[in-house]
Amino acid sequence: MGWQDQLNKAIQTVRNAADSDRAREIATTAKTTAASLMQKAKDGAMSAADALVEANRDPSALVLHHMNADVTIVSPSEGIAISRHDAGTLVITDGKENGLVINAAADPAFVVETIGTVIHVSDNTYDLGDQDGVHLVMTKF
């Protein structure tokens, strides 16, 4: 079996596990948490630091540290992709042509560009896609 076949088999195994009741429950929790965080950020009801702490409490949050960028993504993971196009760049996309390009090599790191529909909700919070809080990206630079 070649590496591509092994990769495809492993991905299918994960997809099957993701269809479990527990995975659906975590995805639902992520949607609820993201929507709540987005509303609080829009209302100015919490600081950037508090938002990051609350996001990191969610069991579905994806926390990523690369160079000078700390990123937390609260999302049910429906299409979220993270890639490094070169050593100092992070690209976070939602699978629907919306995303952030982050210069992680800069000190401090910063969002270079937004692609598609991205709502800059507060100082450190971005909503990819429609302003629905489904794919919430929180940064700490």
Q: Tens of pLDDT along 8-17?
A: 788 777 777 6
Q: Which of 62, 60, 73 is nearest to 28 (CA)?
A: 60
What is the CA 45 to chain-centroid distance, rounded?
21
- Within 10 Å of residue 41's Cβ, how many Cβ atoms? 25
- Which residues contact residue 123 at a Cβ distance below 8 angstroms, ignoring those fewer than 6 apart? 48
The better pLDDT of the pair 133, 91 is held by: 91
Please give the pLDDT value at position 134: 67
pLDDT at residue 69 greater than cutoff 60: yes
Report the share of the chain in percent with pLDDT over 70: 72
- Within 10 Å of residue 122's Cβ, how many Cβ atoms? 20
Residue 62 Rama label (left phi>0; alpha psi -120 to 50; beta)? beta
pTM for this entry: 0.64
| Mean of all residue pLDDT scores within the chain | 79
**Cα-based distances in Å from 94 to 13, 56, 57:** 22, 19, 22
**Cα-based distances in Å from 122 to 27, 116, 119:** 23, 18, 9
Please give the pLDDT value at position 54: 63
pLDDT at residue 6 greater than cutoff 60: yes
pLDDT tens by residue, 42-51? 677 666 556 6
d(CA 66, CA 106): 11
110-126 average pLDDT score: 89
d(CA 18, CA 8): 15
Residue 132 pLDDT class (50, 70, 90 cuts): low
Task: Mean pLDDT check: name the lowest of 5-14, 54-63, 95-104, 125-134.
Answer: 54-63
pLDDT at residue 19 greater than cutoff 70: no
Residue 117 pLDDT class (50, 70, 90 cuts): very high
